[in-house]
Structure 1
């Protein structure tokens, strides 16, 4: 049975909360812990479905991965090049990040690995990862269009490459850097514009040799040296800025609200949404800024207020690609038009997020225009009508975004299948209701 949720007008949001750990960092902490020598202890790990699938797959590859009663995760790694052939399929669930990074991890090991996932993941393109990994020596057998299920035939003699990303992608970059760990010489990725750098920061923290150099065109050249000795370490995962976006935008929109979100990751390559919201007039303060395991973190204080429409440049997309659905909700309540550019990547997320947002907003009485890579939202400065039932298409960010809209809309909003929320934000409903939402 699917989990249908109904969200209605909220009272002013108040209080403090901590959203779950950063999903991107959680995947990478587990993977590098599985490659490190000795014990790694990870606190604050996101225990959502996506990350739990990654943990299960690393166990299948020979790493020791356990959760203690105090909530910490303990890993005893295999060392670089020490993973073993899994006895069964690796099921990545709904996680595109987990699948693409894991392909890089096994591509330079001399064994065959079979990958699958849920219906949504099996529909998503993997060729952007398989093509450069094939240049390093791995072979792939895939369904039409490079989709899962697929087989990775790892190479015993990997070749280092210099690869220029055709489109900025932290997942492709990370997959190649992870493959480069078990490859002689230097593996280099050239990105046209900077993408989230969690992999580079964490590789350094575990002891790898990573160089990052700017290009004259505004991008970056990232190089990893093969065969490092990664050493187990303690690591605390900051709260996910993408998850924090949902209560933050809700607090901006529900009159009279003020909330504090603690220990949120504010890596500059992940804060495009907060920059955009501030340009719209949002009252968002980063308090107690500090560094934690190489990552910048802060406490976010958010107060309600009026927002105005803005134009969001295409070059900002890599720093907020997961946050456009909730930004569209803010835009629907803002005064004036918001134009979001450079959104082609949203067509190949867990769903066609661009199309899903346009249809859902229109059903809630918001005037929208949709182009190939552009979403234009015409806000009226007041809450939308709402009253629609939204088909989430098993997309957690679509589901959570429209539940936030229901908190401010004139009529309740229903999401037809909210089970997917558990992939990134377990406890979402309880946290939101604790602040003042009315989701049931």
Structure 2
């Protein structure tokens, strides 16, 4: 694996993937632990924190609002909570960088900081993403929010808030979370109705912190909280960071890979259901609770795949892994189709077009549709080639997995995009490659 001066990375094919890996802490849970720790009373000790450009932005954001955050080794934090209404507006805008989770969840919290004014900004990628989906419901709750035509920057004027019942027009855990967090400051019970289930990390952590939460199959409610207390959070391994290795071991012949300590919340692991339908051999063992979330270890063996269709109702619980599904489909027998995934067009890149372009660059027959893509797979190693990440960490990881499973290797343009969620990704890939190349007798 070689880097060029422009930070391209070349990932060469590997004969097999064998070994044991652990991935960084879950990014979504890491964001929430810092944000809820900041508005709790007392100290929150976070272990297994998933360090990345996105989660570092969350630390910087709460520090800018008067919260002390102390580092405790590589993956530990001590957050000194200031209470529900103790945040203070900084003199400068709060830079959310490229962290969509941060800007949407933090806006819900800041909307309840009555009579204070905040401004949220981000980088060019985040500034192009839609914010109207949180602005509209928060305004209905009484928040004062100004936006640039539904985009960043956001001006947030904290005001007394009113409870609402809100039906999500698009399934989104971030929008749901923004409304629930604002509901902590409302004058009654706030309810969010979901068209299909989405990630429930916010609800789980609010319950851990003592918030009055009611969960139902199709909705979740929160009532005003007097105080929150979140003494400790253990962050499980990020399933989205484990997924590239699961797909790589499925595609590379002769592989046997173990991934340890992974978050297995069923509202996050839609890719496992899809891969199982395609014929993948992924076994979950050592199931346990990790920080209030279902967790466990994964054992992955190479398996021949067959094409499948991914339905609209499956999209929210596999949203970040759908580009990897496209790659798996490229090596499966027959056609695979993704439906109902318009939301992919509003990510760090247009992930529908970006995924299809990357697959075509590798010699795959793929076509974008309005709400997904169609891939005609061939059960053989990919040709290899050159792909662009378009500055999107998920596409950079797809390129790396393709390189491992290819005949000629893959060069990934703008590979440093992985630092948004997984700064050590390529180092882990390289270490796994070296371990896999050790003769079996020497590994014993």
Classify the TM-score, shorter chain: over 0.9
Alignment match of 2:333 (pick from 320, 335, 338)? 335
Alignment match of 2:21 (pick from 14, 17, 20)? 17
Query: Would you say the 8 A contact 2:45–2:76 is kept in 1?
Result: yes
Query: Would you say the 8 A contact 2:51–2:75 is kept in 1?
Result: no
Structure 2 matches for 1:186-265, cutoff 5 A?
Answer: 186-214=189-217, 220-265=218-263
Query: Would you say the 8 A contact 1:40–1:233 is kept in 2?
Result: yes
Residue 77 of structure 1 corresponds to which residue in structure 2? 81
Shift of 1:402: 1.2
Residue 90 of structure 1 corresponds to which residue in structure 2? 94
- Are residues 1:99 and 2:96 paired? no
Residue 348 of structure 2 corresponds to which residue in structure 1? 350
Calculate the TM-score normalised by the size of structure 1. 0.95
Q: Tell me how far apart the structure 1 counterparts of residues 73 and 336 of structure 2 sit (CA, whole Å).
A: 46
Shift of 1:71: 3.4
Shift of 1:328: 0.8
Q: Deviations over 1:268-313 (max 9, x none)?
A: 1111001110111111011001112220001011111211111111
Calculate the TM-score normalised by the size of structure 2. 0.95
Q: After the TM superposition, which of the residue ranges 274-283 and 65-74 deviates more from structure 2? A: 65-74
Residue 168 of structure 1 corresponds to which residue in structure 2? 171
Shift of 1:70: 6.1
Structure 2 matches for 1:13-92, cutoff 5 A?
Answer: 13-69=17-73, 71-92=75-96
RMSD, aligned α-carbons = 1.3
Query: Would you say the 8 A contact 1:329–1:402 is kept in 2?
Result: no
Q: Deviations over 1:139-179 (max 9, x none)?
A: 222223x1112211221x21111111111110000001111
Structure 2 matches for 1:292-331, cutoff 5 A?
Answer: 292-331=290-329
Q: Tell me how far apart the structure 2 counterparts of residues 176 and 82 of structure 1 sit (CA, whole Å).
A: 19
Alignment match of 2:142 (pick from 137, 140, 143)? 137
Q: Tell me how far apart the structure 1 counterparts of residues 229 and 301 of structure 2 sit (CA, whole Å).
A: 43
Shift of 1:227: 2.4
Residue 418 of structure 1 corresponds to which residue in structure 2? 415
Shift of 1:355: 0.5
Q: Across the two proteins, how many residue pairs are aligned to each other?
A: 430
Q: Tell me how far apart the structure 1 counterparts of residues 283 and 83 of structure 2 sit (CA, whole Å).
A: 42
Shift of 1:437: 7.0
SS in 2 for 1:77: strand
Q: Tell me how far apart the structure 2 counterparts of residues 353 and 158 of structure 1 sit (CA, whole Å).
A: 36
Query: Would you say the 8 A contact 1:168–1:195 is kept in 2?
Result: yes
Q: Tell me how far apart the structure 1 counterparts of residues 92 and 133 of structure 2 sit (CA, whole Å).
A: 25
Residue 117 of structure 1 corresponds to which residue in structure 2? 122
Q: Deviations over 1:102-128 (max 9, x none)?
A: 111101112111111111111111000
Q: Deviations over 1:327-348 (max 9, x none)?
A: 1111111111111111100000
- Are residues 1:399 and 2:393 paired? no
Structure 2 stretches lacking a partner, 5+ long: 436-444
Q: Deviations over 1:7-33 (max 9, x none)?
A: 111131111111111111110011110
Query: Would you say the 8 A contact 1:185–1:225 is kept in 2?
Result: yes
Structure 1 stretches lacking a partner, 5+ long: 215-219
Query: Would you say the 8 A contact 2:263–2:290 is kept in 1?
Result: no
4+ residue runs over 3 A deviation:
none
Q: Tell me how far apart the structure 2 counterparts of residues 136 and 81 of structure 1 sit (CA, whole Å).
A: 17
Structure 2 matches for 1:371-410, cutoff 5 A?
Answer: 371-387=369-385, 389-410=386-407
Q: Tell me how far apart the structure 2 counterparts of residues 325 and 281 of structure 1 sit (CA, whole Å).
A: 18
Q: Tell me how far apart the structure 2 counterparts of residues 201 and 292 of structure 1 sit (CA, whole Å).
A: 12
Q: After the TM superposition, which of the residue ranges 185-194 and 45-54 deviates more from structure 2? A: 185-194
